[in-house]
């Protein structure tokens, strides 16, 4: 595949790689699976390049491949969820993983990768999810979406309508969530990290809204309200210096990679508003911290 035409494919793929990665993440709710899907997309594109008839743009074709690889991956597995979204009969659900984001990355620094939105997407049937993302996030036309998913245009329109209704009931409203790059958001993140590093429960209390929530991902229990959050968190603070944190970005939200007594712990993703921290989503798994760098 060293031909000039193959070079066109490689150039197009590299230009779209980050967008394809974000799309696969939205479909799957899984960072590591999304990485595998992007690699699979390139392999499949190379194999199919000679028979690609240019009935669509290379970009559209690549997203079609990625979407269908995701649909295959979703088949036969449970949906991903966050702690507050786990029902008593759903304890085996896979968990949504955090997605590293750079404040300067225009592909992902937007509403479409916020944790609440990605978790809400997991409520949709796979093809509804694909239709909604292709139409409303990637701005594909109804005809392009129909071709990508081997559906009719009326079927695409019907699936989009159903997806919108279901997502509206599953995903929380944006409320007054701040952009991760705002001074207030950065300040709250800094104060959050300082409170934990100093084992200062009072300082931690001061950054929480009265209705704040802590959601340990993978646990069937979440904690709602400032006092409940403090009751859960204070015993885990340990002594000053037990925790070390580094600022980063996840899902276009402020986040901190955390170490406990020198061992990598995971990632805390904050939902921040002018009134303080509204939610803390805890990914207490070192694997969740893979791919993150300091902000």
120: Cβ–Cβ under 8 A, 6 or more apart, which residues? 167, 170, 171, 172
Q: What is the pLDDT of residues 186-241, one digit of tens each?
A: 999 999 999 999 999 999 999 999 999 999 987 878 899 999 999 999 999 999 99
Q: Is residue 111 assigned to a domain?
A: no
Confidence (pLDDT) at 294: 54
Q: Is residue 66 assigned to a domain?
A: yes
Confidence (pLDDT) at 81: 64
Distance between CA atoms of 74 and 234, rounded to whole angstroms? 38
Q: Range of 268's domain? A: 183-289
Q: What is the DSSP string of 40-88?
A: HHHHHHHHHGGG---SS-HHHHHHHHHHHHHHHHHTTSPPEE-GGG--G
Distance between CA atoms of 98 and 114, rounded to whole angstroms? 9
Q: Is residue 279 assigned to a domain?
A: yes
Closest-CA residue to 23 (of 7, 41, 9, 8): 41
Q: Tokens 């035409």 — which residue?
A: 5
Which of 56-60, 93-97, 232-236, 283-287 ranks highest by mean pLDDT? Answer: 232-236
Q: What is the pLDDT of residues 154-191, one digit of tens each?
A: 999 999 999 999 988 765 556 578 888 899 999 999 99
Confidence (pLDDT) at 221: 86
Q: What is the pLDDT of residues 236-254, one digit of tens each?
A: 999 999 999 999 999 989 9
Confidence (pLDDT) at 295: 47
- State which of 49, 76, 103 marks the end of a domain: 76
Per-residue tokens: 52: 């690609």
Q: Is residue 139 assigned to a domain?
A: no
- The CATH number of whichever domain residue 32 belongs to comes to 1.10.1740.10
Q: How far apart are the first and last CA of the chain?
A: 38
- State which of 54, 76, 98 marks the end of a domain: 76
Q: Is residue 206 assigned to a domain?
A: yes
Q: Is residue 198 assigned to a domain?
A: yes
- The CATH number of whichever domain residue 217 belongs to comes to 3.10.450.50
| Mean of pLDDT over the chain | 87
- Local confidence band at 113 (pLDDT 50, 70, 90 cut-offs): confident
Q: Is residue 273 assigned to a domain?
A: yes
| Number of structural domains the chain divides into | 2
Q: Is residue 138 assigned to a domain?
A: no
- State which of 32, 49, 76 marks the end of a domain: 76
């Amino acid at each position: 595949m060293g031909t000039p035409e193959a070079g066109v494919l490689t150039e197009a793929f590299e230009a779209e790689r980050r967008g394809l990665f974000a799309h696969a993440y939205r479909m799957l709710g899984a960072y590591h699976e999304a990485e595998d899907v992007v690699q699979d997309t390139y392999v499949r594109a190379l194999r199919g390049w000679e028979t690609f008839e240019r009935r669509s743009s290379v970009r559209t074709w690549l997203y079609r491949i990625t979407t269908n690889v995701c649909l295959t991956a979703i088949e036969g597995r449970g949906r991903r969820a966050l702690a507050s979204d786990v029902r008593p009969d759903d304890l085996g659900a896979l968990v949504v993983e955090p997605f590293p984001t750079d404040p300067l990355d225009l592909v992902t620094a937007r509403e479409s990768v916020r944790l609440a939105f990605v978790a809400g997407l997991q409520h949709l049937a796979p093809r509804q999810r694909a239709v909604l993302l292709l139409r409303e996030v990637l701005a594909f036309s109804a005809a392009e979406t129909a071709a990508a998913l081997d559906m009719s245009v009326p079927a695409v329109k019907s699936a989009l309508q159903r997806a919108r209704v279901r997502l509206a009931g599953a995903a929380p409203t944006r409320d007054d969530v701040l952009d991760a790059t705002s001074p207030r958001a950065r300040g709250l993140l800094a104060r959050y990290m300082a409170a934990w590093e100093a084992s200062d429960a009072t300082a931690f209390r001061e950054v929480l809204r009265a209705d704040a929530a802590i959601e340990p991902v993978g646990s069937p229990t979440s904690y709602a309200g400032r006092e409940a959050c403090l009751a859960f968190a204070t015993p885990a603070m340990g002594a000053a210096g037990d925790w070390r944190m580094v600022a980063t970005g996840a899902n276009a939200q402020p986040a901190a990679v955390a170490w406990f007594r020198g061992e990598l712990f995971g990632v805390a993703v904050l939902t921040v508003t002018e009134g303080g921290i509204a939610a803390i989503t805890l990914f207490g798994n070192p694997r969740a911290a893979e791919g993150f760098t300091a902000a």
